[in-house]
A and B are shown apart, each in its own frame.
Chain A
Amino acid sequence: MNPADLNPAGLNPAGINLVACVKWAELRPEIDPLHGSVEASQRSSGFSSSDFAAVESALRLAQAWSDQGQTCGVTVLCAGPEGAEDSLRDFFAVGATRVVRVHLAEQRSSAQVAELLASALMPSQLNAQFVICGDVSSDRGSGSVPAYLAHHLGMQQALGLIGLESTDPGSLHATRRLDGGRRERLLLMTAAVISVEGSVATLRRSSLAATLAAKQKTVEVRKQQIDWPTEVNRLRPWRPRARVLAPPAGDDALSRILELTGAQSGSTAARTLRLDPEQAAEAVLEQLAAWGYLDDSLPT
């Protein structure tokens, strides 16, 4: 569609605005084996195949509905750092009418990312009729951002789709995988949040002219102000490793469960000891050893 058909706020008064949400993520994260920190690199960051599938799905739907005379626009929305902009600009080359980056410099929880995206998707802003996301991001994504988005925007949701077909403008058929190899066919009407698997579509390759033209395009940047509570890193108490137990004896299931849970065996009575720290530590270790939590080779 012609970008001129969009008003300055990005609204499609007589048309459908499809928004594809993508996440700038570490595609091949380096994880320190000692302390588990994730090292991100600009070069190995990018968008997942399911994000690309979301953009391609939006472009195909827009094309199909445009062919039926409906004005459609595709906006790509990303919550990410400034470093994502070169790659975001490539979405202009494949046919996105607008590309918007909501500034997010650091890792945030799915709920917070969704809150940030939703603030840009509100009717006063991008006014999306369909929001299409990748089902999970490549950095251990939980797939919950689309669900949070649907909650924030008050839209219906259909997540983890494996097929999308356009019908009349503003509605589409979606296929979802169910247990046991079954499939669920859904009819979706505006307004909805959907997420697609990477297998749904492969992002088209842009023409050279469009790639060159995209170099001159500007990614809109929104700096949404959300007061998130300060995150407190909680230190959890050390938990001993689970013990390996022999299979419970018993002729029937009930007796085995009773054996396994120790429900009818005597429990250790609670004790209160008032001791010096050294003696207290000794007593704790002694008790842990008695319960079998400590290796016999360890000094007690």
Chain B
Amino acid sequence: MPDFDVIVVGAGPAGAAAALEAARAGRSVCLLERGPYPGSKNMYGGVIYGRVLDTLIPNWWEEAPIQRWVTRRSTMLMAGDQAVTVDYRCSSWGEAPYNGATAFRPEFDAWLASKAEAAGAVLICSTTATGLLRDGTRVVGVRTDRPDGDLTAQVVICCDGVNSFLAKEAGLYPPSDPANYTLGVKETILLPREVIDERFAVRGDHGVDIEILGCTGEVPGGGFLYTNAESLAVGLVLSLPKLAACGRRPEEMLAELKAHSAIAPLIEGGQVKEYSAHVIPEAGYKMMPELIGDGILVAGDAAAMCLAAGIWLEGVNFAIGSGAAAGQAAARAVQRRDTSSAGLQDYRRRLDSNFVMSDHRKLREAPHLVMSDLAQQQLPRIACGVMEQLFTVTNPDPKPGLRKIIRGQMKLNNLKLRDAISQGMKALRTFG
């Protein structure tokens, strides 16, 4: 007789959602967390899009520990000391049911895990799952780092994060390719609420999310800056192999971003409260492991369910979506007394039928496109160059035509029209 019906490893958004759904279905659930509390080990560099919570926790926005509701979304292209920003503002994003929000992960993850506990899941913190228990090829539980720490279950759901040693041990992952990963580094900078409101032109609990391209020099990646209630988060996402090859420290590159004329005035006078770093499964669909094995499911970052698609940078919603699907599928399999790989295929069906897999499949080329030289180097330089020429008044010379400016900038940046059209078509196919 197993100790539990379902063991969920990792109490991040994916794990908490999996535990919540499995517990609600009446299954006995153990939620293991290696940190002292859910969220204590987690970081992210963006926004939580909560629509996925609507069915999980009705009116979640009334109780979720949110810092600010994002009502301004900016995309900034940087080159040298220049920057071009496309700024979108939407007041309705600041009203229920809201769109996206910034939050502190220790608060948000702990809140979500508390929902799983309230549904009946048993949360055990400060406990690391160090390996899988098997019966032949079948996974029957996990070994933990506690004395007498074996725990058995009919289904193990791995939500143990980007490095998922359990999924690797289960043979669900192909050999790791560093090119599929990026390193995210982030500083949290304290500023008074009214200063943030003034600098970012927001009021109350409204906030801003700025995504930045062209700020990482020779290393492909991107930057971000978003507002919390009384702090800012500014950071970079950097290609792992290119970062290693260039020999520079990520904090140096972050310092350069902070010193940029478009960013420095926004963070001026702030006190750095925290520096953190985390690996991100950047390649999305193309690096996903096998999601199902005998007695085992993989969800969240552990399953590379992170969408890094340039204009869309999402992770927590995919973690919650995949975790919830895993919890439901596991509960159903336990009820049907078939937790084999075939019995757990419902997980795949659920993922395929919702946004989790369809978005990843549709945007599978996007990470490659975003990390290309065109997006990383040429596009920001061309955009900034065009803007500079367009808005520099050169009297008594007459204004040059826009077409001439663009062609000149393309030539200056070694971008041929043919390549631009080819990349543009690729982008249309990817995002279209």
Contacts and interface: CB of A to CB of B under 8 A. Distances in A.
A140 interface: no
Interface string B384-417: 0000000000000000000000000000000000
A207 B149 contact: yes
B189 to A, nearest CB: 15
Contacts of B124: 208, 211-212, 215
Contacts of B122: 212, 215
Interface stretch (B71-79, B140-148, B164-172, B287-295): B140-148
B131 interface: no
A206 B146 contact: yes
B147 A206 contact: yes
Interface string B105-135: 0100010000000000010100100000000
Contacts of B40: 43
The 5 closest A-B pairs by CB, nearest first: A207-B147, A208-B146, A207-B148, A208-B149, A208-B144
B37 A208 contact: no
A209 interface: yes
29 contacts: A43-B37, A43-B40, A43-B106, A46-B36, A205-B146, A205-B147, A206-B146, A206-B147, A207-B146, A207-B147, A207-B148, A207-B149, A208-B124, A208-B127, A208-B144, A208-B146, A208-B147, A208-B148, A208-B149, A208-B150, A208-B151, A209-B148, A211-B124, A211-B127, A211-B146, A212-B3, A212-B30, A212-B124, A215-B124
A131 to B, nearest CB: 27
A43 B107 CA distance: 9
A46 B40 CA distance: 14
Interface of A: 43, 46, 205-209, 211-212, 215
Contacts of B37: 43
Contacts of A205: 146-147
A253 B16 CA distance: 73
Nearest to A211: B124
Interface residues of B, number: 17
Residue of B30, B127, B144, B146 with most partner-chain A CB within 10 A: B146
A150 to B, nearest CB: 33
Residue among A205, A208, A209 with max Cβ neighbours from chain B (10 Å): A208
A208 B148 CA distance: 6
Interface of B: 3, 30, 36-37, 40, 106, 110, 122, 124, 127, 144, 146-151
Contacts of A207: 146-149
A205 B145 CA distance: 10
Given A207-B148, A208-B146, 7 more contacts: A43-B40, A43-B106, A208-B151, A209-B148, A211-B124, A212-B3, A212-B124
Contacts of A46: 36
A208 B127 CA distance: 9
A206 B106 CA distance: 24
Contacts of A209: 148
A214 to B, nearest CB: 10
A274 to B, nearest CB: 47
B152 to A, nearest CB: 11
Contacts of B150: 208
Contacts of B151: 208
Contacts of B146: 205-208, 211
A46 B124 CA distance: 17
B124 to A, nearest CB: 6
Contacts of A215: 122, 124
A243 B46 CA distance: 52
Contacts of A208: 124, 127, 144, 146-151
Contacts of B148: 207-209
A206 B147 CA distance: 7
B35 to A, nearest CB: 10
B67 to A, nearest CB: 15
A212 B123 CA distance: 9
A43 B108 CA distance: 12
Contacts of A206: 146-147
B147 A43 contact: no
Nearest to A46: B36
* Most chain A CB neighbours (cut-off 10 Å) among B3, B144, B147: B147
A208 B122 CA distance: 12
Contacts of A43: 37, 40, 106, 110
A207 B147 CA distance: 4
A206 B144 CA distance: 12
A211 B149 CA distance: 10
Contacts of B36: 46
A215 B121 CA distance: 12
B5 to A, nearest CB: 15
Nearest to A87: B36
A176 B156 CA distance: 50
A209 B106 CA distance: 27
A297 B3 CA distance: 77
A209 B3 CA distance: 10
A206 B127 CA distance: 10
A46 B36 CA distance: 10
Nearest to B122: A215
A17 B396 CA distance: 96
Contacts of A211: 124, 127, 146
A211 B148 CA distance: 11
Contacts of B106: 43
A48 to B, nearest CB: 15
Residue among A43, A46, A206 with the most chain B CB within 10 A? A43
A43 B39 CA distance: 10
B192 to A, nearest CB: 11
A194 B77 CA distance: 64
Contacts of B147: 205-208
A215 B29 CA distance: 14
